[in-house]
């Protein structure tokens, strides 16, 4: 698995460089190359998880592997979105560097891990990490799309032309991706929280232990519940939704990753 992760991280780095070059020195060919490299990196990353489950599975319930899984799912969502909205290829320049860092760190820490214990908690632990990672990945895409939407909105209002023929995704396309990723991400996050409680129960006999991770994840879920209600029931406009997506994901990173590292 480590070999495939290293190949994937190298391809993600190449994708980041190609996509960034395509933005800085406007070149449609470089942006397309960056997207293809991201796709090849995602294929290698997928193969890594396939190898992981070929024998005794390595533990999914740790921070490095959860982040790696979130990277994989975010890439898959972005690649599918690019097929629908070609101009979203500009997001590759933002996501590919994060994909490289997440995958590279996972590859470095993987050799020190042993196999999962074969007990009843394994099913819930894997389900929790897979669904939680899916939620984290989709909400990351929502945050990235929201951030780029704010940049483009500010540029349009200031009537500043893009230099050198650079093309950013349209406001409408970014808003659609933001909305879809927010809705699907919150659904996955919700089911991830439920399976997490079932995992704790299988391991400890209670559904909630009051650990910092559980506490802050619950707070993050509550914040996203408010954001989803505002977006889908109160018809929040595109700019407000973009601001909410960026702020919400920043807090989610603190709640899941930051607290996980600290503890």
Residue 73 lies in a domain: no
User: Whole-model pTM?
Assistant: 0.70
Range with the lowest mean pLDDT among 10-14, 86-90, 157-161? 86-90
The three-state (H, E, C) secondary structure of 153-202, written as one string: HHHHHHCCCCHHHCCCCCHHHHHHHHHHHHHHHHHHHHHHHHHHHHHHHH
Report the mean per-residue pLDDT for the chain: 79
Q: What is the pLDDT of residue 64?
A: 67
Domain that holds residue 207: 117-262
Residue 51 lies in a domain: no
Residue 111 lies in a domain: no
Q: What is the pLDDT of residue 225?
A: 94
* Percentage of the residues of the chain whose pLDDT score is greater than 90: 13
Confidence of residue 110 (pLDDT cuts 50, 70, 90): low
Q: What is the pLDDT of residue 166?
A: 59
Residue 46 lies in a domain: no
Average pLDDT for residues 120-129, to the nearest whole number?
68
Average pLDDT for residues 196-223, to the nearest whole number?
85
Q: What is the pLDDT of residue 95?
A: 81
* CA–centroid distance for 178 within its chain: 13
Count the Cβ atoms, other than its own, within 10 Å of residue 161.
6
Structure tokens at 75: 């890439």
Range with the lowest mean pLDDT among 4-8, 144-148, 163-167, 175-179? 163-167
Residue 245 lies in a domain: yes
Please state the domain count of the chain. 1
Confidence of residue 118 (pLDDT cuts 50, 70, 90): very low
> First-to-last CA distance in the chain?
27
Cα 70 to Cα 75: distance, rounded to the nearest angstrom: 9
Residue 121 lies in a domain: yes
pLDDT digits (tens, 9 = 90+) for 219-259: 999 999 999 999 998 888 899 999 999 999 888 888 776 66
Confidence of residue 104 (pLDDT cuts 50, 70, 90): confident
Residue 143 lies in a domain: yes
Residue 98 lies in a domain: no
Structure tokens at 2: 């480590």
Contacts of 207 (CB under 8 A, 6+ apart): 197, 198, 200, 201
């Amino acid at each position: 698995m480590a070999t495939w992760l290293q190949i994937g991280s190298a391809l993600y780095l190449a994708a980041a460089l190609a996509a960034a070059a395509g933005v800085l020195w406007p070149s449609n060919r470089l942006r397309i190359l960056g997207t293809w490299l991201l796709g090849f990196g995602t294929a290698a990353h997928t193969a890594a998880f396939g190898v992981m489950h070929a024998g005794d599975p390595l533990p999914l319930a740790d921070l490095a592997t959860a982040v790696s899984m979130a990277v994989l799912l975010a890439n898959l969502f972005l690649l599918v979105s690019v097929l629908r909205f070609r101009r979203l290829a500009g997001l590759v320049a933002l996501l590919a560097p994060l994909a490289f860092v997440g995958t590279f760190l996972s590859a470095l820490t993987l050799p020190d891990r042993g196999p999962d214990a074969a007990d009843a908690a394994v099913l819930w632990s894997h389900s929790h990490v897979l669904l939680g990672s899916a939620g984290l990945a989709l909400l990351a895409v929502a945050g990235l799309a929201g951030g780029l939407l704010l940049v483009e909105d500010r540029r349009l209002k200031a009537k500043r032309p893009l230099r050198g023929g650079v093309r950013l995704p349209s406001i409408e396309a970014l808003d659609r991706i933001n909305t879809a990723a927010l809705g699907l991400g919150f659904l996955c996050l919700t089911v991830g929280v439920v399976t997490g409680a079932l995992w704790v129960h299988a391991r400890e006999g209670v559904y909630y232990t009051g650990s910092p991770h559980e506490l802050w994840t619950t707070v993050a879920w509550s914040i996203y519940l408010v954001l989803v209600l505002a977006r889908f029931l109160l018809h929040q406009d595109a700019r407000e939704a973009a601001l909410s997506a960026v702020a919400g994901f920043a807090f989610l990173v603190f709640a899941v990753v930051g607290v996980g590292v600290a503890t």
